[in-house]
Chains A and B, each alone.
Chain A
Amino acid sequence: AQSVTQLDSHVSVSEGTPVLLRCNYSSSYSPSLFWYVQHPNKGLQLLLKYTSAATLVKGINGFEAEFKKSETSFHLTKPSAHMSDAAEYFCVVSDDGNDYKLSFGAGTTVTVRA
């Protein structure tokens, strides 16, 4: 069975500095991996997805993630944080056998200091 571990429950950065959100996964097959963002009192918005094409995936709002099979990681980065990036971020992996079933990480809350 697949699972996702987000290594940090909370990340605090200064505006204009890089953001790194760490995610490790386990999956028996070649997984599909996603990062979603949830702003307060909002729904989940897709940032980016990996589906066995290029290992470096570019998403919206300047975010990107790199799939590293040898490390079973899918870390999310952004070179320069903006105040609007303050939100909760979820790393998600699709089920090994049923691609409609998603396993969500526990989430990482990002705060951005002015």
Chain B
Amino acid sequence: DAGVIQSPRHEVTEMGQEVTLRCKPISGHNSLFWYRQTMMRGLELLIYFNNNVPIDDSGMPEDRFSAKMPNASFSTLKIQPSEPRDSAVYFCASSPRETQYFGPGTRLLVL
């Protein structure tokens, strides 16, 4: 199994630009999570999908952030417009039940 796949691994963009992060969960896992990791806040849950449906998006910082899961094998996290304070590592994780398996992350830098 390839594990959770995320792309891109690194993204550098300018303030105001749209950023799209992508995730392919482990096959057969019905839950998908997006997290953000910063030095100041540690790991924060942004949104949780179950069977492709958003269940909990209370962690999404503001309307600039949106996430979709059009099918069981793909999810996106979009930031539009991006701001320097969005700079962080974004992780996707998937889970068959209670154990979450994390992807390698996308390191985002917004200049």
Contact = CB atoms under 8 A, between A and B. Distances in A.
Interface of A: 32, 34, 36, 41-46, 49, 51, 90, 94, 98-102, 104, 106-107
Contacts, number: 44
A107 B39 CA distance: 11
B103 interface: yes
Given A43-B103, A44-B102, A46-B101, A100 B43 contact: no
A90 B49 CA distance: 23
Interface of B: 4, 31, 33, 42-43, 45, 48, 50, 55-56, 91, 93, 95, 97-105, 107
Given A44-B91, A107-B42, A102 B104 contact: no
Contacts of B101: 46
Given A43-B105, A44-B91, A44-B93, 9 more contacts: A42-B104, A43-B91, A43-B102, A44-B102, A46-B99, A49-B98, A51-B98, A100-B33, A100-B48
Given A42-B104, A44-B91, A100-B33, A94 B45 contact: no
Contacts of A43: 4, 91, 102-105
Q: List the 8 shortest-distance A-B pairs measured between CB atoms, nearest first.
A: A44-B102, A43-B102, A43-B104, A104-B43, A99-B98, A43-B105, A32-B98, A43-B103
Contacts of B91: 43-44
22 contacts: A36-B102, A41-B107, A43-B4, A43-B102, A43-B103, A43-B105, A44-B93, A44-B102, A49-B98, A51-B98, A90-B43, A94-B98, A98-B56, A99-B98, A100-B48, A100-B95, A100-B98, A101-B56, A102-B100, A104-B42, A104-B43, A107-B42
